[in-house]
Structure 1
Amino acid sequence: MGEAAGKITLKLLVDRNARRVIFGEAGKEFVDFLFHFLSLPVGTVVKLLSKDKMVGSLGKIYESIETMHANYMEPNVNKEDVLNPKVSSSSLGNTPSLLGYKTNDSNHPTVLYRCSAGYGNCYGYITTDPQAVCPSCNNEMNRTMTCVPGPGKEEAKVEKGTGYVKGLVTYMVMDNLQVRPMSTISSITLLSSFKVKDLSALETLEVCIGRKEAVGMLKASFVTEKVLTYLFLGNQKA
């Protein structure tokens, strides 16, 4: 649906008696956000979901890279790029970056570092990792330098028409995040498949999705097929 203060609104049809979400009614913004999940690098997902709270071992791989000293990494490897990979904003379309990570379209100056000692031969080396060791004198390379962008560099913008799905269309989002175009027939068919007999028990619930809800949706998508019910009706057993 629409956007409010950097958030996306989603209208849910809820079965009050069964305490479950039948489906959500969404516009392009929400569907683009949802489909963008599949383009997230694994490192970004681990960081967003917190490595200490993840089920399985991916969090431990993340922690291993995080704690690995630069001496053991290949010279051309920047740990920050591995742990916090930047994602292109083109697939987000006009959708707010609800998950809060940086895209690779940012025009902020890159921070560079040189040797803290600054002997003659040391000036030939720079790095993006302040924990790197100078190949010339073995001192840490933590003296800050700033890469200044050249003139005429415009801020990257996301053009209209980008993203995944077309606008001016209403989409039906299932409790398990399956998406299909909205239609009267599909709505009636869905109510029949859920065996909803008491139509008076149906109600609409409009929710706003910000960063907290976005991360919660990403996390819930790994552990349940009742994502919308889990998030917005507080059904922790979903």
Structure 2
Amino acid sequence: MAATKPTTVSKKLLIDPKSDRILFAEAGKDFVDFLFYIMSLPVGTVVRLLGKQRTVGCLGNIYESIENLNDYYYMKSAATKVILLKPMSKYTNLYWCKNHQNYNGGTAYVANHPTAACPSCGHYFMKSNDVLFVNPTNNGVPDSGEEAFIKRASTFMILDDLVVRPMYTNSIITLLDKFNIKDVNDLEEKTIGVGVNEAVELLRASMQSKTVLTDVFLGGKKKSSEV
């Protein structure tokens, strides 16, 4: 019998107990894949059209994090970044030239706009049946056993407002300075598992709050309006 895949993803939280705030989470590809998967939903198009600054909650931060991550070192491919930043609609219409169909190994001309004309014969294209676009993941959901969006060996810091950055020592020092943390011994570490329930709450909070990790994993002790 095949082993059952784990239903939770582990990540480490660094907590400032004095302010009841999560400074950041340390996580690998599985958790970051989940965050980036949110942007492969139609909401990614909304973020792009409205602009990052006008987006409610932290979705704009996830979008900007994807933009800023180096394609070569962190993203599975440059094409992966395009899929996340400009996701296709699940269903799309394709138009084809009735005179040039690929029945016998020849060239087939296809377009995604009804006003397109065949470059060979000049006829306007005819509409085909609706086409279902399938992401390169199982049923559109990242599989923990595969590379979905992020390369396997990468480790990231996820800030309270869902900004995603590569895990560098300098980044940690800068963050501690920002929150005026003088002694790291005053901080607490906590390893948690993120399952389906937590994932749903993260998705909900990402649309409403600027302190997503604190709200979800510390019981909402910090108000969403605080930065």
TM-score range, shorter chain: 0.5 to 0.7
Contact 1:176 1:228 in 2 (8 A): yes
Contact 2:9 2:195 in 1 (8 A): yes
2:184 to 187, 195, 199: 199
Listed one character per residue, the Cα deviations across residues 52-107 of structure 1 (whole Å, up to 9, x for unaligned) are xxx9xxxxxxxxxxxxxxxxxxxxxxxxxxxxx99746264433xxxxxxxxxxxx
Tell me the TM-score normalized by structure 1: 0.50
Code of the aligned partner of 1:189:
T
Code of the aligned partner of 1:165:
I
Matches of 1:9 and 1:231, distance apart in 2: 15
Provide the residue aligned with 1:224 in structure 2: 209
- C-alpha change, 1:208 and 1:220, in structure 2 (3 Å) is same
Code of the aligned partner of 1:207:
I
Percent identity, aligned pairs only, is: 43
Matches of 1:215 and 1:234, distance apart in 2: 15
Provide the residue aligned with 2:143 in structure 1: 94
- C-alpha change, 1:226 and 1:181, in structure 2 (3 Å) is same
- C-alpha change, 1:210 and 1:13, in structure 2 (3 Å) is same
Provide the residue aligned with 2:16 in structure 1: 15
| Distance apart, 1:195 and its partner CA | 1.0
Superposition pairs for residues 35-184 of structure 1, below 5 Å? 35-41=36-42, 88=135, 90=137, 92-95=141-144, 160-161=146-147, 163-184=148-169
Provide the residue aligned with 1:138 in structure 2: none
Code of the aligned partner of 2:151:
K
Code of the aligned partner of 2:184:
L
| Distance apart, 1:235 and its partner CA | 2.1
Contact 2:14 2:22 in 1 (8 A): yes
| Distance apart, 1:197 and its partner CA | 2.2
Tell me the TM-score normalized by structure 2: 0.52
Provide the residue aligned with 2:91 in structure 1: none
Matches of 1:89 and 1:40, distance apart in 2: 14
Contact 2:7 2:196 in 1 (8 A): no
Provide the residue aligned with 1:98 in structure 2: none
- C-alpha change, 1:206 and 1:164, in structure 2 (3 Å) is same
Provide the residue aligned with 2:47 in structure 1: none
| Distance apart, 1:39 and its partner CA | 1.3
| Distance apart, 1:205 and its partner CA | 1.0
Structure 2, unmatched stretches of 5+, are 44-55, 57-131
**SS of the counterpart of 1:13?**
strand
Code of the aligned partner of 1:21:
I
| Distance apart, 1:213 and its partner CA | 0.5
Q: CA RMSD in A?
A: 2.6
Listed one character per residue, the Cα deviations across residues 150-206 of structure 1 (whole Å, up to 9, x for unaligned) are xxxxxxxxx733x11111111110101110100111101110011112422201111
Provide the residue aligned with 2:94 in structure 1: none
Provide the residue aligned with 2:200 in structure 1: 215
Aligned length: 131
**SS of the counterpart of 1:39?**
coil
Matches of 2:135 and 2:210, distance apart in 1: 28
Contact 2:160 2:210 in 1 (8 A): yes
**SS of the counterpart of 1:218?**
helix
Code of the aligned partner of 1:27:
G
